[in-house]
């Protein structure tokens, strides 16, 4: 299985990102909350959201996941900006392990960035 980790630079807002991802029909059953051990091995607050993608997912399933994540992340970032909550960055980490950052000013190419994080080609029309 491939996973896509989504983190924000505002820990208080990660729950909103989780909600946005969970609202996408294509992601039902694929979104998980992840916690990391804090100091002294205590559980810390929600650290990131993980989207699970079957390793052998067909192109239709993969395209649906990419578009759903892109829609959720774009909507989340735009809403945060409209609330004047300050600049929020979402970091995607997929197969390569290299983080890709998206901010509200960069929501134009989110599908291509999500596909890149998952190590797949961008969906057609996503570079617009």
3-state helix, strand, coil in the chain (%, to 5): 45, 25, 30
| Residue 22 confidence (pLDDT) | 93
| Residue 52 confidence (pLDDT) | 87
pLDDT tens for the chain, residues 1 to 128: 688 888 887 777 788 889 999 999 999 999 998 877 666 665 555 578 888 887 666 778 888 888 898 889 888 888 877 776 566 677 777 777 787 777 766 556 677 777 777 776 555 555 44
Angle formed at CA 39 by CA 36 and CA 45, multiple of 5 degrees: 40
| Residue 43 confidence (pLDDT) | 55
Alpha-carbon span 32 to 22, nearest angstrom:
9
Alpha-carbon span 83 to 50, nearest angstrom:
25
């Amino acid at each position: 299985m491939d996973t896509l980790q989504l983190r924000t630079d505002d820990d208080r807002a990660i729950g909103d990102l989780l909600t946005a991802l969970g609202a996408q029909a294509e992601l039902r059953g694929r979104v998980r909350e992840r916690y990391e051990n804090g100091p002294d091995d205590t559980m810390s607050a929600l650290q990131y959201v993980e989207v699970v993608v079957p390793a052998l997912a067909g192109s239709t399933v993969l395209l649906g996941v990419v578009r759903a994540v892109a829609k959720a992340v774009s909507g989340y970032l735009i809403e945060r900006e409209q609330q004047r909550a300050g600049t929020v960055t979402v970091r995607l980490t997929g197969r390569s392990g290299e983080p890709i950052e998206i901010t509200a000013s960069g929501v134009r190419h989110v599908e291509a960035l999500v596909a890149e994080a998952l190590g797949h080609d961008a969906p057609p029309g996503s570079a617009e």
